[in-house]
Structure 1
Amino acid sequence: MASQIQNIERDRGQKSAAPTSTCARVETVNSIGTVRRLRALIALGWSQAGLAVRAGMSSRTVWLLVRHPELCPDVTLATRARVVELYDELSMKIPPESRHKTVAVRLARAAGWVPPLAWDDEDLDDPEGHPAEITPDDIVDVDMVAVRRVIDGGGFARLTRAEIDAAITYGYSQGLSSRQVAERLHMTQTNVEKRSGRHGLRAAA
């Protein structure tokens, strides 16, 4: 009998202690930076569903964040980290033409969301931060034929700001230095490097 009582007391102790080991508080942060990054990628043409898959999040979570951020004032550190990583990967990439891209761009334009081009990195997580003013042509209309022609040395073309950033990205991918890219874009090297730094781009060593 004594041993049975001891076993019962031991079981009770284990059951009462168990919840304390599994109820650790999950750290959260303000969702504003996460919301801005997702909206910016949608403005670039990436679909909500596609972003959800890439970030390992549910479509509903992404939908709530971009459409109803007031319902999601905070996100976990893990969620924020996944979205930051996704933003760094896609913010300078234009998705291929598709119905999903068209829908995403139309949604962003109707809602007034701006692409990564409009944001300085330090402003994304700042509640007081604001995007730069951009024209409709800067949203996502990138003529890659013109971009490649300029960088490959085939002549001059008047490029939008979005196309300039695409040209810098393309130039670096071809192994050009910031000075060489600047010469082909008829810009100063300082200006090219400033735009590069804004988007985390680096010329080939």
Structure 2
Amino acid sequence: MDQKSVWKIRHRVHDKVSIECAARIMAVTHVPVPAQSGMKVPNIGTKRRIQALLAIGWKLDDLGQLAGVSGRQFSQYNTRTWVQYETWAKVRELYEELSGTPGSSRYGETRARNSGYLPPLAWEGHDIDHPQQSPIWMPATPDDELDEVLLDRIIHGKHSGKVHEPERTALLDYAIANGWTGTRVAEALNLKQDAGEQALVRRKAKLRKNAA
């Protein structure tokens, strides 16, 4: 449909609309789709993904090189209100590939965290593209200790509340050691299924990096 037609429906210039037309409009969500190729889409998810990668040590120059643009141009994606659909799709692809692997810049990581940037872990189980989504991030501190009793409850599906970092990490290590699926991890951590899969992938990547 052309924008003028949608505008007329939105502002009630038309009192009625066909069922087919209404169904198409109601099917539209905040998540960009391939049909928007060549068009501008909201930059919310792109900005959050870039900030999340910076928060785990990735540098803008490295991200830009992987995206096929300069670091300076890539940094602009973190400030704009709109980006091309192709840019959103490319950054999403990079995020899915890199969000489980820490970058090389510890200084950049510290600077990003001090700027309030949230790491990928903060977005697990949350819709990173939704404008009204604002996850509560509670990073682990040196004083945090693993609650063995709580961990046991989580493993056996007896906990339905928020899972903090020490227990979450221990649960993922237990899941990896015992061959759990992403679905089972998601159920234990109260996440969506795809978030459970991502949590496993990221933890395995971090363990491989630590081992190396």
TM-score for the superposition, normalised by structure 2: 0.55
1:111 aligned onto 2:111: no
Q: How big is the shift at 1:65?
A: 2.6
RMSD across aligned C-alpha pairs, in angstroms? 3.7
> What is aligned with 2:99?
91
Q: What letter corresponds to residue 180 of structure 2 in structure 1? A: S
Q: How big is the shift at 1:113?
A: 0.5
Q: How big is the shift at 1:85?
A: 0.6
Distance in 2, matches of 1:162 and 1:78, equals 38
1:58 aligned onto 2:70: yes
Asked if the contact 1:28–1:76 (Cα under 8 Å) also holds between the matched residues in 2, the reply is yes
Q: How big is the shift at 1:162?
A: 7.6
Asked if the contact 1:119–1:131 (Cα under 8 Å) also holds between the matched residues in 2, the reply is yes
Asked if the contact 1:47–1:104 (Cα under 8 Å) also holds between the matched residues in 2, the reply is yes
Larger Rg: 1
Matched length? 144
> What is aligned with 2:82?
74
Q: What letter corresponds to residue 87 of structure 2 in structure 1? A: T
**CA 1:30–1:56 in 2, change beyond 3 Å: closer, same or farther?**
same
Asked if the contact 1:43–1:115 (Cα under 8 Å) also holds between the matched residues in 2, the reply is yes
SS of aligned partner of 2:58: coil
Asked if the contact 2:60–2:72 (Cα under 8 Å) also holds between the matched residues in 1, the reply is no
> What is aligned with 1:31?
43
Asked if the contact 2:38–2:84 (Cα under 8 Å) also holds between the matched residues in 1, the reply is yes
Distance in 2, matches of 1:83 and 1:162, equals 30
Counterpart among 122, 129, 132 of residue 128 in structure 1: 132
Q: How big is the shift at 1:117?
A: 0.9
Q: How big is the shift at 1:40?
A: 0.4
Asked if the contact 2:59–2:108 (Cα under 8 Å) also holds between the matched residues in 1, the reply is yes
SS of aligned partner of 1:194: coil
Determine what percentage of the aligned residue pairs are the same residue. 29
For each residue in 1:68-125, what CA deviation from the matched residue of structure 2 results, as whole angstroms up to 9, or x when unmatched? x1xx211111111110011111112223xx4xx1122122122110101111465311
**CA 1:122–1:167 in 2, change beyond 3 Å: closer, same or farther?**
closer
Q: What letter corresponds to residue 177 of structure 1 in structure 2? A: W
Q: How big is the shift at 1:53?
A: 1.3
